[in-house]
């Protein structure tokens, strides 16, 4: 490039734009010429680039004619490396962040790229593009265009072709080819049971913010293969949503233990308990919705040792509840689990509509009621509010000597929150029984004393 060419071209560009006013100058990837001056390439082509940048600064700062009506727009993904002089007021007055398209935006983009594509009918095209727009949360315009890229030599685009292209865009196939790895039959059976359990729990405790779309057993990972469609907008999760996420996360571990036994488990459910534990810790530490208190703790390491013990007790309580609830649901819908497993073994995948149909039609096996989470009971067990040597209804058993009250953490609850009327009756019964045992022991000692011969000491008698 000849010296001065960049500045000359910039000058000619702005002169041409003024001659066609009103006009727009759009500079794509403006960071290529507008990056900060004084960089490491100043001795090479950087000097020429800076000459072009200086000419842009001069042109944008020297609009003498207010009737010229020339609008300059630049686009970049590297706002952090642009020269500060380029971003000051008077040159670029506004910085507009262009985010990912919404559902309506994705549909409009798909309609643009589908103009020259062939569908069986306009009605089918609109329905298919509407479905794809719902399933492509966090997709960019380029990724949406890739879904409609021609691949097979067919006369029309159908639903199967679009869903296959969607899987490829989501990274289902690492190399662009279908995975042909042979999966052992035993591992395939474990994968099918895992995905079936995850599907049943997703139906029983549906996530209002992430409806599932389909699942398969085509890939071997420690995470479930269930795919979800993100909902647009802000998420306002309630405490019940957090608790349900803990229960759903336990499904892979629980089903493998139920079907193959504790001593015959493998790595495909290894991360299930880890994910459930993370959900529980997030609920306890960062939401302020539990008896642990309303303070915010970013990490487990932020806790003092005394509070760490309370966290472990409360987390274990939630984990035990989640495992019991998950096991109860899977036993209740055992028929649905087996049906979904058979379909996965036969076809390799199953869609959400078929999963919901199986779930709603499956016969149910009634199960005992699962005791709810006893947050205050767990904290009592951890030594927060001590009750000496008793056993309360639920999961918590209190050992003798666990006595005392500490002032840190959440405030002490009212007595009606700590124990119920049935609990007080149980405590009174334990006390009455103990009193009766003491009386019986005392009576036995008195009877033994009566049976012993009495010896009178009369050494001082005459």
Burial (CB count within 10 angstroms: exposed 0-12, middle 13-18, buried 19+), residue 194 = buried
What is the arrangement of strands in the sheet containing 212-216, beginning at the earlier edge strand?
A: 227-228, 212-216, 349-351
Widest pairwise Cα distance in the chain: 148
Catalytic residue, candidates 50, 195, 275, 375: 195
Q: How far apart are CA 296 and CA 429, in angstroms?
A: 41
Cα gap 380→405, rounded to integer Å:
9
Question: How many residues make up the chain in this entry?
Answer: 462
Spatial separation of the C-alpha atoms in residues 369 and 367, rounded to whole Å: 6
Long-range Cβ contact pairs of 279-288 (< 8 A, separation 24 or more): 279/242, 279/245, 279/246, 279/249, 280/246, 280/315, 280/318, 280/319, 280/322, 281/311, 281/315, 282/242, 283/239, 283/242, 283/243, 283/246, 283/318, 284/311, 284/314, 284/315, 284/318, 285/311, 287/239, 287/242
For residues 363 and 208, what is the distance between their CA atoms, to the nearest angstrom?
Answer: 25
- Calpha distance 100→301 (Å, rounded): 35
The Cβ-side half-sphere exposure at 201, using a 13 Å CA radius, reads 29
Do the strands 212-216 and 349-351 form a parallel or antiparallel pair, or are they unpaired? antiparallel
Q: At how many degrees (to 10) do helices 305-332 and 270-286 cross?
A: 130
Q: DSSP code of 366?
A: -
> Is residue 437 within 8 Å of 418, Cβ to Cβ?
no
Catalytic residue flag (residue 195): yes
List 27's β-bridge partners, or say none.
74
Active site residues: 195
């Amino acid at each position: 490039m000849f010296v001065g060419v960049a500045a000359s071209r910039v000058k000619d560009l702005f002169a041409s734009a003024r001659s066609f006013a009103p006009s727009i100058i759009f500079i794509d990837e403006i960071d290529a010429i507008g990056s900060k001056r004084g960089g490491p390439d100043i001795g090479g082509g950087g000097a020429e680039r800076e000459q072009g940048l200086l000419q842009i600064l001069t042109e944008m700062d020297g609009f003498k004619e207010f009737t010229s009506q020339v609008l300059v727009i630049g686009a970049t993904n590297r706002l952090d490396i642009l020269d500060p002089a380029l971003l000051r007021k008077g040159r670029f007055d506004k910085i507009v962040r262009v985010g990912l398209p919404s559902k309506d935006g994705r549909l409009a983009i798909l309609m643009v790229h589908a103009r020259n594509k062939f569908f069986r009918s306009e009605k089918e095209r609109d329905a298919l593009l509407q479905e794809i727009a719902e399933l492509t949360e966090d997709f960019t315009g380029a990724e949406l265009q890739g879904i409609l890229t021609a691949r097979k030599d067919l006369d029309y685009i159908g639903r199967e072709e679009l869903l296959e292209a969607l899987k490829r865009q989501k990274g289902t196939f690492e190399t662009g080819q279908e995975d042909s790895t042979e999966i052992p039959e035993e591992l395939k059976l474990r994968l099918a049971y895992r995905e079936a359990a995850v599907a049943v729990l997703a139906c029983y405790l549906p996530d209002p913010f992430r409806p599932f779309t389909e699942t398969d057993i085509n890939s071997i990972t420690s995470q479930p293969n269930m795919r979800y469609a993100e909902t647009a907008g802000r998420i306002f999760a309630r405490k019940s949503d957090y608790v349900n996420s803990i229960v759903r996360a336990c499904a892979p571990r629980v089903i493998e233990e139920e079907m193959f036994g504790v001593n015959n488990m493998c790595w495909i459910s290894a991360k299930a308990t880890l994910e459930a534990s993370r959900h529980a810790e997030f609920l306890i530490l960062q939401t302020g919705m539990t008896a642990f208190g309303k303070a915010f703790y970013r990490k487990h390491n932020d806790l003092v040792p005394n509070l760490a013990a309370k966290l472990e007790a409360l987390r274990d309580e939630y984990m035990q509840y989640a495992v019991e609830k998950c096991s109860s649901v899977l036993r209740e819908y055992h028929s649905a689990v087996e049906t979904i497993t058979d379909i996965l073994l036969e076809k390799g995948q199953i869609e959400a509509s078929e999963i919901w149909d199986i779930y709603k039609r499956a016969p149910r096996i009634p199960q005992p009621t699962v005791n709810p989470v006893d947050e205050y009971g767990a904290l009592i067990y951890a030594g927060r509010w001590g009750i000496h040597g008793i056993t309360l209804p639920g999961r918590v058993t209190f050992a003798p000597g666990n006595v005392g009250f500490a002032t840190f953490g959440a405030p002490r609850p009212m007595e009606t929150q700590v124990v119920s009327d049935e609990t007080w009756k149980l405590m009174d019964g334990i006390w009455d029984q103990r009193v009766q045992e003491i009386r019986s022991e005392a009576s036995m000692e008195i009877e033994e004393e009566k049976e012993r011969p009495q010896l009178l000491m009369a050494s001082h008698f005459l």
